[in-house]
Chains A and B, each alone.
Chain A
Amino acid sequence: MARSLGQLRHRPPRYSAAALAWRGLRGHTWPRVWRDPELKTSYDAVVVGGGVHGLATAYYLARNHDITDVAVLDKAYLGSGGSGRNTAIIRANYLTPAGVAFYGRSLQLYNSMAVDLNINVMFSERGHLTLAHTDGALRTMRWRAEVNKLGGVDSSVIGPGEIKKIVPSLDTSDRPRYPILGALYHPPGGIVRHDAVVWGYARAADHLGVEMHQRTEVLDVLCSGGEGPGGKGAGGRVTGVRTNRGDISTPVVINCTAGWASLVSAMAGVRLPIVTHPLQAAVTEPVKMFLPAVVVSGSLHVYVSQTSRGELVFGASVDPVATYSVRGSSEFTEELAGHVLQLMPGISQMRLLRQWAGLCDMTPDYSPVMGFTPVEGFLVDVGWGTYGFKAGPVSGEQMAEVVATGRTPELIEPFALSRFNTGNLVGEKGAAAVGH
């Protein structure tokens, strides 16, 4: 049951042009976007990780299920992990029916997010092109387009002529290497302001009574009854978490910590088939808009879009070496630049302004792990690899349902942890490897 406005725990000011004008005229400032309450010693549920997944989970727990005694804990600041480091691409043109249905729902939620959360997340539905440079890639594009169509997702294969019309800066000439033979065109795909999504969920969750606690690091997950040391592991149940600010008792802990997911799960004695790799990204200085769509090339391991400020934002595939270091490498920017110039030779004077890295929790089948674990009360929403941001809203919605109902909704059944015991893996590798 969705809550109506009348049920809000406190009534913060709504954002609107009129409110901006009124405050501008009166010289009034805005109150805190989310409050800064004292950390309590007990909650109905604790979400670990203040990124878009954790915040969305908390928001939907409160909004859809009236579970509001919830704390979201983050060891740094909200959105400091993958949510603030991704390249903010939103799309639903996945390869498997499970992926298409899931990301399709996420796309819907992104579409209505500005109104739902009353914050402009600047979703720019500008179209998404996945280029094919080989016959084989073109075949996979056709396959994806067919699966997308069947799943109700707008997606089709287009030729070089049409590609050139959509993105004139692409070199569609008949080149020996990496010719552009066609593309999977996904008009509803686009980019969004990632920070605004984080703040929007935090603000909306705060309005419903959820507490956000930054600089609150979970040091241990407290369990009892499990077969492992400290009552952890299979057969046990969660009793709370230990943080750098003290212990919290809670029957439900939801792990939404992306790159640190396997470490936090290990605190509950839960092993995950996850390896953490850095994923690098970079941004150029701004120039006037010339790239009106998101462009992805799997063969060239690059995706690029131009923000509304005019910067090009680039990403590639994960670094080959597993590490928690986010310092980035020179090789990354060099390869990236070489590949981008293969696609758009005319922009060699654009200057790279900044590079960074985030951490990706990679699973063997490039699909997430969502739902229950062998430890009662310890739930995971992890394994989000390089595609977590675009799935944030739907993940929150579904995880909230898991917590509230104790059942796994159909939409996320394919992503259960148990699939690694039954072998029913999800085949998203083809669409996810660089497909942002």
Chain B
Amino acid sequence: MAMSRLGQRPTEVIKRSVTLHFRWNGRSFSGFEGDTVASALAASGQQVFSRSLKYHRPRGILTADYWDPNLMVQVGDDPNVRAGHRLLEEGMDVRAQNVWPSLRFDLKAANSLVGRFLSAGFYYKTFMRPRWLWPSYERVLSAFGPGGRVDIDSPDRYHDKRYTHPDVVVAGAGPAGIEAALAASKAGARVLLVEHEHSVGGHLRYSTRAAEQVALGKLRGTLEASDVEVLTDSTVTGRYEDNWLGIVQRNHPIAVERLIKARAKMLVVAPGLIERPYVFEGNDRPGVITSAAARRLINLWGVKPGERAVVFSANDEGDAAADLRDAGVDVAAVIDGRKGHRINSTRGSRRAVEGVVADGVRIDADLLVVAAGWTAPTSLLNMAGDRPAYDRYAARFFPSNPPDSVLATGGLSGDGTLDELRTHGAATGRLAAARALSVAHRIQARTARARAVGGPEPDWAADDRLPLRRDFHPELFRSDTHGMIDFSEDVGSKDLLAAAREGYDSVELAKRYTTATMGSSQGKLETVNTVAVLAEARGENIGEVGTTVWRPPYAPVSLGALAGRVFEPVRVSPIQPWHEANGVRTILAGQWVRPDHYGDPAAEVRNARSNVGIIDVTPLGKLDLRGPDIPKLLNLLYTNKWSNLAVGKVRYGMMCGEDGVVLDDGVTGRLGEDHYMMTTTSSGAGVVWEWVENWLQTERPDWRVHVTPVTSAYASINVAGPKSRRLVGRVVRDVDLSPEGFAYMEVRSATVAGVAGCFMWRIGFTGDLSYELHVPAGHGMHVWEALIEAGADLGVGPFGMEGQRIMRLEKGHFIVGQDTDGLTMAPSTGLSRLIRLDKENFVGRPELGWSGSRRLPMIVAIQPDHPQTVPDEGCQIVRGDTNEILGRITSSRMSPTLRRSICLGQVEPELAIGGSRVTVLLASGDRIGATVMGHHAHFDPAGERLRG
């Protein structure tokens, strides 16, 4: 007999005046506001909500809550929705998952006919031969996989995060949790109370006992009047180091889900207890439900769970007989598990219970309500490092030794009357508040920039709570028949016993082999029964077998909530609007969007080589260094010497890691007595900053150097080409630009186009006479436009990254990370004169010192025989017709200046001699001849142009 809607219940949470319409597998249904998807369907007479994973057996309501493994449905494009928890909404499109062609008639149920062959882990034992057939088997197996469907074209949804620093977080708003929150708040603590379900009150919500209803009303009233912040439909999903908590809020008005990150001084864990399913033959037949499910259905949603019930009860709290009778259900029998009575099996069709066999006697019934016992959801304690211990007398796990900052209360801690639980909760709240004060004091005292600490640290409050007692509960896990243990994975007790016999007899191995506890509730319903059956197989007790490790999250969290608002900023220079207005093609370089070229990079190069070009190099990493110990720092980090750099001079330097591998390079100039500007590669800006700070803060804290990253504080413009001096002369009036007055590798402070506070240096990455202007970023656009305007008659034109890359390749300057790699040691660059092993010490020196005798690959310039053939970067240099690798092309371009292909590459040292012949294997598979050049520079090897 199907379930149906009852008349109004005093405790119900549905609003019968608001009817909601929805679809279930394409058919129209309705329910009330406050219904869950499952309660609305149950009230409409639906019994089957899903099919089981392996055998596709029809499955009905089991626990009627978030953890119900049988109530996973698809809602619109949202897969794996918990119908036992998700509130009904108007217009919902709800579908059964993992059925074909339909829930009612599922062809995959044919699996149950061959069930005896589908023992746990059967797939490991077959399909090995023939190997070519495995991909087909694999597709079939994956078609039987669980879960709903994800729509990869789902629209973006809004997610958000919140950060909070409460004194006390209470996880669970049952009576003990509420009392804990209230007591802590009363003691002055800032309290966040987090409840997994849609309203507070725990089991009191579906209790019909008058005293409990009164208590619940009072608790709610007090809570509302208090300062406690209450989050419902929210779950503490993880407890990480130092009470860093993840909380997922599912009922945020705007965000689909919100991740709240709380740094709590104290955590109170009060999740209550989870009712444990009982293992017997036919325990997964629709019509077998837990006692909590029966009471929730009746008292929260006014759903009559059946017509004639057998009640199996092993504890007072779980005895639902009174509720059932009150709802008009005929209670055919109450089987008391405490007195040794047992359920043996259910009988009936595949879709419904028709009878229950208890103590060998069949009783006609369409409903079996089971209260076998309780499971303690110890996850959060486990995440805090506690190893909960099993108590045979109470037949459940208890906290053993959680850290001082984590307290448990409620059913997790023990048994008691409502008053006793509330008293324990309140004591826990007071203790949490007192300890939170100590923690707050400690944090304040130990934080460098803390406000003055008021008085001495309060004593760490001792745990003087009166412990809750532990009542006797029978160890009822499996009856004398075999049944289902993991409903979502379709793993039965027989499977587990077979696995144990095969040697998978530790809980971890059995879990991995059978997949028991790996499903949607991650073992909250299944773990203890799994352990119990393994204990049975091993002839040990549950404590000896132990449990699997509980890991975050306690309840699943959507990827959207975890990601939050994805913040991936793009950086652009202040000159970007000009670039965009002038036909720029951009390129992504790290976070920066940069001009790659403006249509014709070769023309840009020719113009810069013959007239003057300007390039926006703002992303160049810039570190402002101040202090008397800067020369020491530079000597430590660069391979060359820096003690004698005069004010106004610039020097090039190469940095190595401690392994002697090239880390970064760039120029550093001395702007004043104790003021230097270090530049890094654009991509290395962040890494080098960290590198410098790391050395200063951890290795040389006594050195007086202040480092300020100023990359985006300056707009940087390189002016390059034979006419660059004339162009710069038109915008800079306060610097003598004559070759004698401002020589190559010098730096000057300057006023550029009327902008004060600029500096510029003469360097030559492009290989031409060039000036690099660094101007306060706000004036970058102004200076750029001034240069364009002032140089019109000189033929000034912009060039982009591509032009710069061509020009530097013509000049033979290597790029760290392109021409070098993770193993390129400093000597491979050919700049051995910059590696001063006679310096006292520098990062990488020991490694470079003793590696001097090694055969290192060398960076060389290479020109293909055929001047029009440009090998792809990454092409390998091989020995003749063999596959032996002797090097590779690291950079290659067609040179507009030389009108031929030019390359940089790495080769074995014996080939690094001018005139060596090499073979380049092109991506096409062709092999071409090429010659190693005597000098890195394809263009102006003497450097006359850039020094001019």
Contact = CB atoms under 8 A, between A and B. Distances in A.
Nearest to B848: A423
Nearest to B565: A338
With a 10 A CB-CB cut-off, give which of B114, B135, B504, B551 has the most chain A CB atoms: B551
B273 interface: no
Give the contact-size bracket for chain A: 35 or more
Contacts of A308: 138, 141-142, 145
Contact of B593 (A133, A144, A176): A176
A112 to B, nearest CB: 8
Nearest to A32: B503
A134 B504 CA distance: 47
Contacts of A354: 522, 551-553
Interface string A1-35: 00000000000000111011100110101111110
Given A288-B149, A350-B79, A20 B509 contact: no
Interface in B547-597: 551-553, 556-564, 566, 568, 570, 587-591, 593
Contact of B502 (A30, A133, A352): A30
Given A34-B503, A308-B138, A118 B128 contact: yes
A317 to B, nearest CB: 14
B568 A178 contact: yes
A239 interface: no
A156 to B, nearest CB: 9
A119 B128 contact: yes
Interface stretch (B400-408, B816-824, B831-839): B816-824
A287 interface: yes
Contacts of A355: 551-553
With a 10 A CB-CB cut-off, give which of A125, A169, A334 has the most chain B CB atoms: A334
Contacts of B591: 177
Give the contact-size bracket for chain B: 35 or more
A382 B583 CA distance: 54
Given A351-B559, A423-B847, A423-B850, A176 B588 contact: yes
A404 B244 CA distance: 51
B874 A146 contact: yes
A135 interface: yes
B58 interface: no
A19 B80 contact: no
Interface string B117-135: 1010011111111010011
A408 interface: no
B601 to A, nearest CB: 14
Contacts of B683: 136
Contacts of B153: 346
A330 B128 contact: no
A142 B874 contact: yes
B28 interface: no
Contacts, number: 288
Contacts of B923: 142, 146
A348 B156 contact: yes
Contact of B568 (A119, A145, A177): A177
A170 B823 CA distance: 33
Given A176-B588, A330-B238, A337 B502 contact: no
B128 A352 contact: no
Contacts of B470: none
A342 interface: yes
B123 to A, nearest CB: 6
Interface in B363-395: 383, 385
B874 A288 contact: no
B870 to A, nearest CB: 13
A120 interface: yes
B147 A287 contact: yes
Contact of A329 (B147, B241, B588, B818): B241
Interface string A383-402: 00000000000000000000
A143 B888 contact: yes
A50 B512 CA distance: 16
Nearest to A22: B117
Given A179-B588, A348-B156, A350-B559, A20 B122 contact: yes
Given A97-B885, A336-B562, A114 B501 contact: no
A240 to B, nearest CB: 27
Nearest to A170: B152
A142 B873 contact: yes
Contacts of A27: 116
Given A338-B564, A342-B566, A327 B383 contact: yes
Given A15-B126, A16-B125, A341 B563 contact: yes
Contact of B146 (A25, A133, A290, A310): A310
Given A21-B117, A139-B873, A348-B159, 6 more contacts: A120-B127, A134-B588, A146-B874, A287-B149, A333-B553, A430-B821
22 contacts: A16-B125, A17-B126, A32-B502, A114-B134, A118-B128, A133-B588, A134-B589, A139-B818, A177-B570, A288-B148, A309-B147, A310-B145, A333-B562, A334-B562, A334-B564, A337-B559, A338-B563, A340-B559, A340-B563, A346-B150, A354-B522, A430-B822
Interface of A: 15-17, 19-21, 24-25, 27, 29-34, 36, 76-80, 84, 97, 112, 114-115, 118-125, 133-136, 139-147, 150-151, 168-169, 176-179, 193, 195-196, 199, 214, 284-290, 308-311, 327-330, 333-334, 336-338, 340-342, 344-356, 364-365, 422-425, 427, 429-430
A-B interface, 6 closest residue pairs, ranked by CB to CB distance from nearest: A142-B874, A348-B560, A286-B147, A337-B562, A351-B556, A143-B874
